Structure 1
Amino acid sequence: MTTTQPRTSEDRSNRPGDWVDTAEGLADIAPDRYNMTIPTDRYVSREIQERERETIWMKTWQVAGRVSELPEIGDWKVYQLFDQSYILVRGKDKRIRGFVNACRHRGNPLCTGRGNSKRFLCQYHLWSYDLDGKLRGILREKNLEPIDKGENSLLEVSADTCAGFVFINPDPNAAPLAEYLGAEVLEMLEPYRLDEMITVMDVREALECNWKVVVDAFSEGYHISGIHPQLLRAITIESEKSRYRFLGRHSVACSPFEVANVDKYGPEEQVDGIRELPETFPSLLRTLPRFEELVDEYRVEGEPLVFPEGVTARTVLQRATREVLTGIGLDVSALTDAQMSDNHGWVLFPNFFMTVRAGEATVILAQPDPGGDPNRCIWQITSVMWLPDEMKDVLRAEPIEVEEPGEFKYFEALQQDYEQMPRQQRGLRNKALDHLTLVSEEVVVAHFHSVLDRYLAESPGV
């Protein structure tokens, strides 16, 4: 799928990131636009999990990995969804295709994990298929009755790529990925150049909570004061300044970054707030040296630091970020100054959450438990960064599968979420609790569940 737009223009008018200047705030969203009460059975009911399987997971486009996982012809990986197994493979024409992971002879799985092959060979009776899924070899074929190879190729499933991600859709009647995502989503994501970013963290782990608990948790900032109090020392999130854009089944939200207590404290305290951020946002380490240099331009020996009108630690950070990224080769001309500092939180239905700012993004995927237990799920954390060529191989991360709970330590804020979500699931299992009550700051959660409602309504008996 082609989503690339011209990148040579220096014209900064009408950039996709300008959407925040005219987008809705909480005051613009009527309290009854979305249902703010969520039934708790959708987090704990196996019956509802089964309906989700048929009406959502088997019908929607979902991220199955990064394009960079399949760089060479013959590279393949298995994508597991409940008890359904699929192969994603890069063919000789360099296109990535998807197939049902089952031999057409007797149904034996062809692959486990990931690898590179010139063909797929079934270990049961040695039938073989090429990278396009065509049946090529049959054991002792001359001694058998004629078999139509064209009618016994691997079963293909829809696969496509966008923004450096591989998507798959099990639905044989799936609309194209570009149509599912929508033109506005593609336009708004393109300037980040996510397809050029390198994976610097890739961790998968089983969690003791429903997959929607994960989506909900990362769709709102209302919990920061309770779960991430350390962030309040460095940044302020003012809900009245948050902006939202609802794009059909998807959404994007932005709470403009601001140094904590900017009105109360002076420039030196603001600068100290920026210095604390790498504890939660490690990628800022590469920007801090230039940030310090720019701050020093405003220092006068023996006098307190003073910023001129219109300059704050935020604007200095934005300038430093733009200069650093441009200096290492990333064209950020299509991104706004605010996108240098502000994370935009994307929810792509059903299970994709991403925070993205200039030069980096963190993606959280939540998959239902392969065994169908509604009280469990798999989460995957993928962080990507734009890096110059000489740093790509040094910082590129290999996938990590966490076997024992707690053996992998995430960075501070993510670790706090990791510990909170199973706690919430334990509370949700109380039978007397039949619904959740959302507040206005959780409007993205409410929008997500309104989309979920529409899909579930397609199931008989709902």
Structure 2
Amino acid sequence: MDDVQLGTFNTNIATDRYTCPEYAAREREAIWKRTWQIAGRVDDLPKPGDWKKYEILDQSFLIVRGKDEKLRGFVNACRHRGNALCIAETGNAKRGFLCQYHLWSYDLDGRLKGILRENLAGPIDKTENSLLSVSVDTFAGFIFLNPDPDAESLHEFLGDDVVDLLEPYHIEQFTTVMDVTEAIECNWKVVMDAFEEGYHINGIHPQLLQVLHINPKTARYRFFDNHSVAMAPFEVAGASEQEQVEGMLALPETFPGTVAVIPRFQELLAPYQDDNGKGTFPDGVTPRALLQQATREVLTGMGLDVSDLTDSQMVDNQGWVLFPNYFMTVRAGECHVIMARPHPDGDPNRCIWHVASYMFVPQEFRDAVRAEAIVVDTPGSHKYFEALQQDYEQMPRQQKGLRNDRLDHMTLVKEEVVIAHFHSVVDRHMSNAAKR
């Protein structure tokens, strides 16, 4: 990965993009109606006829699995008088979709197949009144949707490098172990910014300093046309080897995927430990290397192909930003995802955040660990794991500060280069839309 200087991107970020209704309205046209965005997981729709609704601001879409097993997307509106076909979040339409207003019906391919009292309806051309289609595709087990009828392909949007770097993790084989959606009192970009830097760990997550240290001198970044990835070694700078071991043994508290790895890690440690558990490691052997070895062995034994992943990718968190609203930390066998989208009411001071975790689990255990989706209706009623709860409480505080009129910009530091890149992509999309 490249050591990119912050000066490559703008470090002064105007605050009106977080608070201004007019800016939010322009984002609707420039970003949300024109970019690929994640609308769910492929295994949300396992059977023909399974469908789910995806909404962004005031736009509503349906994604359905056809009889041919293909996923398709449609505007959630009857072609007769625009009635919403589906109000629920998900369901199964084995016989297709039926508009409850005037009983027009559509098959799973979106074709108009039935009209009430068709012999009296007049000259209605069914072929010209199919449901309006939208682009749908999949990658890494996620369903992507783009409202733009002229959208570039998903592969083009992601780019060859992103696809090549993420495919070896086999995220499509992971099982959902957490899935929570909640309205939160901040702009969607405040959420994205919060997870694009580790500069706040000392202030907000001091407990993580035992196992994770974001050092600008060792962090590496790679920036793509729309996306980015950052990597920081999973180690504590200046800590003794024994402190490293203690931190790694505490990993399951924050990273549940390491639960299965720790026993093998302890076995690999044993030859280097005395009767009191104190370790002495020869040249070429480190706790981090042993954790990498344990992770590779355990996941391989569980049936996950990690042969194309590097030792670093076994344990080091790779922090991915897929524009516009997807952040993921991924390591071999598990990933944790944060997504944020504007609130449906259009208020720039509110958004919907979606947090989810995915882990590789052997087939026979997947149903037992799969998490049901939770939608939180009462703010503060859902308790996240410690670090996530700390972010949840912090982000609305930032939004309150951003609303002060005299604060016209934020000033970024070197450790926030990913935020700077993200906003450069926002700027480009906003500028391109203005030129149309």
Q: Normalising to structure 1: TM-score of the pair?
A: 0.92
Mapped pair 1:87 → 2:72: no
The alignment partner of 2:63 has SS state of: strand
Report the Cα distance in structure 1 between the residues aligned to 2:7 and 2:251, rounded to whole angstroms. 37
For the 8 Å contact 2:199–2:214, the answer to whether it is kept is no
One of 294, 298, 302 as aligned partner of 1:320: 294
For 1:302 and 1:59, how far apart are their aligned partners in 2? 60
State the partner residue of 2:269. 295
Structure 2 Cα separation of the partners of residues 382 and 210 of structure 1 = 19
Mapped pair 1:65 → 2:40: yes
**Aligned partners of 2:170 and 2:64: how far apart in 1?**
23
Number of the residue aligned with 1:281: 255
1:206 aligns with 2:180: no
Distance 1:401 1:354, change over 3 A: same
Q: Distance in 2 between matches of 1:212 and 1:354?
A: 15
- 1:4 maps to which residue? none
Cα deviation 1:222-256 (Å, max 9, x = unaligned): 11111100011233222210001111111111011
Residue from 175, 200, 206 that aligns with 1:229:
206
Match of 1:445 in 2: 419
Q: CA RMSD in A?
A: 1.4
In the TM superposition, what are the counterparts of 1:24-103 in structure 2 within 5 Å? 24-25=2-3, 28-29=4-5, 31-103=6-78
CA contact (8 A) 1:99 1:155 kept: yes
Counterpart CA distance in 1 for 2:16 and 2:212 is 36
Equivalent residues of 2:211, 2:234 under 8 A apart: no
Q: Does 1:405 pair with 2:390? A: no
Q: 2:135 and 2:36 mapped to 1: Cα distance?
A: 9
State the alpha-carbon separation in 2 of the partners of residues 299 and 439 from structure 1.
Answer: 42
Match of 1:337 among 311, 321, 333: 311
Residue equivalent to 2:107: 130
Alignment of 1:121 with 2:98, yes or no, is: yes
State the AA in 2 paired with 1:329: G
TM-score where L is the length of structure 2 = 0.97
Q: Distance in 2 between matches of 1:300 and 1:421?
A: 46
- Write the deviation string for residues 369-428 of structure 1: whole angstroms up to 9, x where unpaired: 111000000010111111101110010111110111111111111111111100000000
SS in 2 for 1:64: strand
Q: 2:229 aligned with 1:252, yes or no?
A: yes
Per-residue CA shift, 1:104-145, capped at 9, x if unaligned?
111110112100112101111111100000001111112221
Q: Corresponding residue for 2:339? A: 365
Deviations 1:68-127 (A, max 9, x none): 101111110000111110000011111111000000111110112100112101111111
In structure 1, give the amino acid aligned to 2:117.
R
2:331 counterpart of 1:375? no
Is 1:180 aligned to residue 154 of structure 2? no
Determine if the alignment matches structure 1 residue 308 to structure 2 residue 282: yes
Distance 2:414 2:355 in 1: 27
- Report SS of the residue matched to 1:306: coil
SS at 1:86 equivalent: strand
Contact 2:209 2:236 in 1 (8 A): no
Q: Deviations over 1:312-331 (max 9, x none)?
A: 21111111111110110111
* Counterpart code for 2:412: L
Q: How far has the Cα of 1:286 moved from its partner?
A: 1.4
User: How many residues in Structure 1 have an aligned counterpart in Structure 2?
Assistant: 434
- Which residue identity is paired with 2:386? E
Amino acid at match of 1:282: P
- Cα 1:48–1:305, aligned 2, differ >3 Å: closer, same or farther? same
Is the CA contact 2:216–2:414 (under 8 Å) kept in the aligned structure 1?
A: no
| 2:83 counterpart letter in structure 1 | N
Q: Deviations over 1:314-356 (max 9, x none)?
A: 1111111111101101111100111111010111111111111
How big is each residue's C-alpha offset from its partner over 1:31-73, in whole Å with a ceiling of 9 and x where there is no partner?
4311000000000000000000001110111111111101111
Q: Does 1:240 align with 2:214?
A: no
CA–CA separation in structure 2 for the residues paired with 1:190 and 1:127: 42
What secondary structure does 2:272 align onto? Answer: coil
Aligned residues with identical type, % of pairs = 62
Q: Which amino acid aligns with 2:141?
A: G
Structure 1 contact 233–260 (Cα < 8 Å) conserved: no
Amino acid at match of 1:185: V
TM-superposed deviation, 1:188: 0.5
Contact 1:236 1:261 (C-alpha < 8 Å) held by counterparts: no
**Alignment check: 8 A CA contact 2:257 2:333 kept:** no
Q: 1:284, CA displacement in angstroms?
A: 1.4
Is the CA contact 1:210–1:374 (under 8 Å) kept in the aligned structure 2? yes
Query: What CA distance in whole angstroms lies between the structure 2 residues aligned with 1:64 and 1:294?
Result: 41
| Cα distance change on mapping 1:302 and 1:156 into 2, 3 Å | closer
